[in-house]
Amino acid sequence: MASRWFESIIGGIIGSIVGSSAVAYYIFHIQKQNDITMDRVNYNIKRLDNALTKFNSSAGDLMGAMDGLAFTPEAEDREERFY
């Protein structure tokens, strides 16, 4: 009777250790995946920011060129604006 009691206690302890190790590994693995995902998200945000910065500067150049075209003497004579 005592040996079954002892075996169940030892089995419970070993099961708890194995179970908690599996849970800890799973949590670590999920955290690692989240870190990789966040790194990818941050990288893509930086790429998007760079693209928008380039687009805004290009759009500014384009608007400047359009303003330059809109206020040429010929356009003022014809009262045309490119807005």
**23 phi and psi, to 5 degrees?**
-65, -45
Helix, strand or coil, per DSSP, at residue 38: helix
Tell whether 38 is covered by a domain.
yes
Of 8-17, 18-27, 37-46, 62-71, which gets the smallest average pLDDT? 62-71
Tell whether 16 is covered by a domain.
yes
Tell whether 83 is covered by a domain.
no
Tell whether 45 is covered by a domain.
yes
Provide the domain limits for residue 57.
2-78
Q: 70 near 83, Cβ under 8 Å? A: yes
C-alpha to C-alpha distance for 66 and 73, rounded to whole angstroms? 14
Residues 6+ apart with CB under 8 A from 81: 70, 75
Domain count, the chain: 1
Q: 75 near 69, Cβ under 8 Å? A: yes
Decide: pTM greater than 0.75: no
The predicted-structure confidence for 20-60, as pLDDT tens digits, reads as follows 888 888 878 777 777 777 777 778 778 777 777 777 667 76
Name the percent of the chain lying above pLDDT 90: 0
